[in-house]
Amino acid sequence: MKSPALIALSLIAFFSSAFAARADTLAAPTDNGGAIDVSINTSGTPSPSDTSTLANATVLSAEKQTTSPIDATPTAPTPTTALSFDPPVASTAVTAPPPPTPPTVASAPSSNTEADLFTGGSDSLVARTVGHAEGTRTADGNKTRAYYGHSDPGNNVWNLGSFSYQHGARSPQEADEKQLRRLQRQADVIRQKADAHRLSLSLEEELNAIDLANQAPLAALDTPGYVEWLKKARDRGLTGSEAVLWARTQSYWNPRLNRWEAPGLGNTEGNISHDQNRRLTAIARALDVYQQQTLARRKEDEPQDRVAEKPPAEKVADQIIAQDLPQLKTRAIAQVRN
């Protein structure tokens, strides 16, 4: 057994070696292995170990941080260039000139106003052209037997007047008055749609639009309808009667149901096109006659050129000369004899 003094000396030597090892450890520069260094730097300038320590502390803090989904305040994620699909924004704003206004495509724009087309009631241009397409008026505007009443070949309803009106009228004249008011409202809608599409309708295009509204209002006024199909016709390079025929025919196509909608025409493109061409031709014929008659009436109303009579002063002078001629001639003969 060791004596107490020896044991005390052993303990003193053990603690002395331990304190020496601790002092050596603190003096040697070592890596802290990611632990947070809470020592105070009195120099005022962060050391490399301080910087790395704070960076590691931030990473660990972020990795260990947990937030409740309820209490958390949502923050917008920081966008990264690798996942951004937005086009790069120029650092300097450049003011671009406004885009040029697309030209308005028009073929022989109509000089007639809407009032001109409907002026005259049953003798108006609309009544005569649409009536000729309906078979109720001749090309020169006279009324056929069908004008006074006929059965509709499509639904067997009794029709009256220039427009084959079948919604209740006591006479052909009343039928014309009612349908003219309806067509005038529909013509307003057609012109508004044309303006929206920057289309200037020619007289032929407008009269055919009104005739289509009379024959099948939905084909003329629906969207897509006559105006939209006419614009597509022009985009295809069609003009004049070809554009009108194509637009009228396509107006019976229902793109939503992917089918033709003209039961009275057999729901076939061939029958529809044939019927629309017949009506288009009738309108052109009646329009030509109407314009010829209008021109003839204007010539009749113009004052005829007349030869102006001589002024009164010249008449008096002529009379004086005529009266003096015999006397002057007699005197001249007497002088010669003497």
The structure tokens listed for 244 are 């009108």
Give the whole-angstrom CA distance, residue 308 versus residue 306: 6
CB-based contacts of 123: which residues, under 8 Å, 6+ apart?
Answer: 141
In our burial notation (b when 16+ CB lie closer than 10 A, e otherwise), range 155-177 reads: eeeebbbbbbbbeebeebeebbb
Q: Where are the alpha helices (DSSP H) in 72-171?
A: 114-118, 125-134
- Convert the pLDDT of each residue in 275-297 to its tens digit: 999 999 999 999 999 999 999 99
Predicted local distance difference test score (pLDDT) of residue 155:
84
Q: Is position 8 within any domain?
A: no
Helix H or strand E encompassing 327: helix 312-337
Q: Is position 1 within any domain?
A: no
Average pLDDT over residues 98-113: 46
Whole-prediction pTM value? 0.59
Give the whole-angstrom CA distance, residue 164 versus residue 77: 69
Name which of 105-119, 167-181, 190-204 the model is least confident about. 105-119
Domain total for the chain? 1
Strand pairing class (105-106; 150-151):
unpaired
Predicted local distance difference test score (pLDDT) of residue 154:
78
Tell me the average pLDDT of the chain. Answer: 74
Strand pairing class (259-260; 253-254):
antiparallel
User: Tokens 């009544």, residue?
Assistant: 127
Task: Please check whether residue 262 is in contact with residue 252, taking contact to mean a CB–CB distance below 8 angstroms.
Answer: yes
Name which of 10-19, 33-42, 222-231 the model is least confident about. 33-42
Predicted local distance difference test score (pLDDT) of residue 301:
82
Name the DSSP letter for residue 123: G
Task: Please check whether residue 123 is in contact with residue 138, taking contact to mean a CB–CB distance below 8 angstroms.
Answer: no
Give the whole-angstrom CA distance, residue 260 versus residue 219: 11
Q: Is position 165 within any domain?
A: yes
* In the predicted structure, residue 63 carries a pLDDT above the cut 50: no
CB-based contacts of 220: which residues, under 8 Å, 6+ apart?
Answer: 186, 190, 209, 210, 212, 213, 226, 251
Q: Is position 14 within any domain?
A: no
Average pLDDT over residues 32-51: 40
Give the whole-angstrom CA distance, residue 246 versus residue 266: 18
Predicted local distance difference test score (pLDDT) of residue 37:
40
Predicted local distance difference test score (pLDDT) of residue 148:
97
Q: Is position 12 within any domain?
A: no
Q: Which of 212, 34, 40 is nearest to 228 (CA)?
A: 212
- Host domain of residue 206: 106-300
Q: How far apart are the first and last CA of the chain?
A: 212
Q: Is position 177 within any domain?
A: yes
Q: Is position 322 within any domain?
A: no
Q: Is position 114 within any domain?
A: yes
